[in-house]
A and B are shown apart, each in its own frame.
Chain A
């Protein structure tokens, strides 16, 4: 079985060359050239990963990203030609797991795809606790007071990484390496934005985080296990 990748780009030559490249890498692919088409294909094709160009005619990439996130945690890698930092942040806030800037190196793209695909496979047979949150690693379920909280695989992995060593402070770089599979790449915005997204789902009060705590200037760590 080949992993399925949905390529969304309005430029047909990029779509074509990406299609060629990813097939040569052993993936099954499909190319969408517009936002609505991307959403149709997503439902119909059930991809394992989406490569999403942010700059689409009609429905833009950010909206597509948001629509997918509404009902799915499928990894999304943004393709962005803009170098405006705000665009990247908007994309990450809309739910993209990662991004690559055009023109990208095919090895980098390949590495990013592999890192994203690897994520849901991490399993273990125990239960972790952070604050009043319970992480069931086998069932891949996070819950509070028995009520499940819906996390994307990336968010799950982020929480899992922090919770796996509760006393340790993880630097943003360490998280980039362990959660995103980066080496030497130090775009800490990825971490910041996703920590915010994760907090908005798991914290009772986002302004006073108890689950994912910031250690100023160092990074993040899991909150203490609730004694109650």
Chain B
């Protein structure tokens, strides 16, 4: 059953999928109907004509034979008005044998009509092998009803072929009425008919096949440009921007190819322009990165050497060295993040996936931030109901996102507890970080991903921060096809949740609530 359904499904797919197949099948079907109608009509007409002409021949032969035999009987009466009935009978038989020349005569019989009393009785006689069973009562009644005409009936003769029985009345003097019955085998007519019909059927089938072939070829020829165009469009879509169709002639397919080529030209031109721009921007970012980093390296080393020796400086110079040292760090962080962001903007960032355990990754991020958190009085707890199985992630970038969540939680957590969750399903892995600090208004929460936006500029930041962290985190999440959701209420803290789809999942449901509720917490 399953196998059958599969076949049905496959057939349907092939049917729907191939224009050529459909066209050919429809034309073959229609021409089959047409030739069946024509052939049927022809066959019927030929059959009728063949049989009719043969029947007429047979009927007229019967007519003439019966006429001859009748006059022979009439003349057999001698001068004493008597008749040697048996002699007349055998003479009649001889005459019949001599005068019938139509092919297919199986035999004849002279049968006494029943229900009469006469002076003399002539014995019913028949030729050797006469199939008496084909002479039906209805035939004999018909002969008796109509005494002058020849009556005929179609029968099946021994051997199975069609036959014709003719009968007519004979008036034998003194002996009364007799039926002259002749049986003809029409096998030759049937053989002719079969031959004609087979020739007809063969011709029809040939015609249908030729029609199918022609339609197939014509369709193939006419959809060829469409197929070529479609194949080319596929390759084009796959990124092969140099694909073009060869234009031949001036017909509609050439027009299609021409239009398509012009479209491809225009698209690839645009794409190349954009690609060049992107490459230029990438190159620029790379150059800026290098050019800025080189002097910054010197500045940084020199600054930190001054910083180390600040105790030997006077008060103002020492303070200047401190300021210099701190601002160099901020500057460097800003530079790194700006470069990272412009790499996103140039579309140059690529994922570096490796199998990692989300729970282990989360714990390792907590370990990194914990010392700083403890300074603020915050304890970070990890809840990992899931996320222990290995999944393919860009661990450096996910780590960076989580680090940012945790650093924000420490910054804004007011020294309260911080919770981190990891969970996963077959379609997604999710991380969430919750603090119980000042929180934000809805309007502020909507702006946290804006570049250089800060929730509260007056607040002192503990873990630095450039105002670009969440923008970069969002970029990293999107690179994974993931999302970052934010929950926050003033006075109740904030929760950031990263959800990354696994495999080919699109927009999966996060396994974590927003904010997640810990089973053993009453939050």
Contacts and interface: CB of A to CB of B under 8 A. Distances in A.
Contacts of B336: 83
A18 interface: yes
A173 B332 CA distance: 26
18 contacts: A11-B297, A13-B295, A17-B297, A17-B301, A21-B301, A21-B305, A81-B294, A82-B290, A83-B336, A103-B332, A105-B300, A106-B304, A173-B364, A184-B367, A186-B395, A216-B390, A217-B357, A217-B390
Interface stretch (B77-85, B142-150, B348-356, B444-452): B348-356
A59 interface: no
B301 A83 contact: no
A24 B399 contact: no
B339 interface: yes
A172 B396 CA distance: 13
CB-based closest 4 A-B pairs = A217-B390, A217-B355, A81-B293, A103-B297
Given A14-B298, A103-B299, A103-B300, A85 B355 contact: no
B279 to A, nearest CB: 13
A92 B297 CA distance: 21
B113 interface: no
A85 B354 CA distance: 15
B289 interface: yes
Contact of B286 (A79, A84, A104, A187): A84
B296 interface: yes
B345 interface: no
A209 to B, nearest CB: 17
B294 A184 contact: no
Given A24-B305, A217-B357, 8 more contacts: A81-B289, A82-B290, A83-B336, A83-B339, A85-B352, A103-B296, A106-B304, A187-B396
A83 B390 contact: no
B289 A82 contact: yes
Contacts of A184: 364, 367-368
Interface in B294-316: 294-302, 304-305
Interface in A22-73: 24, 55
Contacts of A102: 293-294, 296-297
B297 A188 contact: no
Interface of A: 11, 13-14, 17-18, 20-21, 24, 55, 79, 81-85, 101-106, 173, 184, 186-188, 216-217
Interface in B274-297: 286, 289-290, 293-297
Contacts of B289: 81-83
A217 B294 contact: no
B9 to A, nearest CB: 38
Contacts of B299: 103
Interface in B343-382: 352, 354-357, 364, 367-368
Interface of A is mostly: loop
Interface of B: 286, 289-290, 293-302, 304-305, 332, 336, 339-340, 352, 354-357, 364, 367-368, 390, 395-396, 399
Contact of A13 (B298, B339, B352, B399): B298
Contacts of B295: 11, 13
Contact of A82 (B286, B302, B399): B286
Nearest to B282: A84
Contacts of B367: 184
A219 to B, nearest CB: 11
Contacts of A103: 293, 296-297, 299-301, 332
Nearest to B309: A24
Contacts of A187: 396
A104 B367 CA distance: 23
Contacts of B352: 85
Contacts of A85: 352
Given A21-B305, A173-B364, A186 B297 contact: no
A81 B300 contact: no
**Chain A CB within 10 Å, residue with most, of B298, B305, B395:** B298
A20 B300 contact: no
Contacts of A21: 301, 305
B344 to A, nearest CB: 13
A102 B294 CA distance: 7
Contacts of A14: 294, 297-298, 301
A158 to B, nearest CB: 19
Nearest to A55: B290
A103 B293 CA distance: 6
Given A82-B289, A173-B364, A217-B390, A188 B296 contact: no
Nearest to A173: B364
B364 A186 contact: yes
Contacts of A104: 297, 300
Given A20-B305, A186-B364, A216 B296 contact: no
Contacts of B354: 188
A81 B297 contact: yes
Contacts of A20: 301, 305
A106 B298 CA distance: 11
B302 A186 contact: no
B459 to A, nearest CB: 26
Given A13-B295, A85-B352, A106 B301 contact: yes
Contacts of B290: 55, 81-82
Contact of A186 (B294, B340, B390, B399): B399
A120 B305 CA distance: 30
B399 A11 contact: no
A104 B304 CA distance: 11
A81 B305 CA distance: 21
Nearest to A83: B289
A31 to B, nearest CB: 13
A134 B293 CA distance: 45
Contacts of B300: 103-106
A55 B293 CA distance: 12
A102 B335 CA distance: 12
A17 B296 contact: no
B503 to A, nearest CB: 16
A215 to B, nearest CB: 11
A21 B299 CA distance: 13
A84 B288 CA distance: 13
A11 B298 contact: yes
Contacts of B390: 216-217
A125 B134 CA distance: 122
Nearest to A187: B396
Contacts of A55: 290
B288 to A, nearest CB: 11
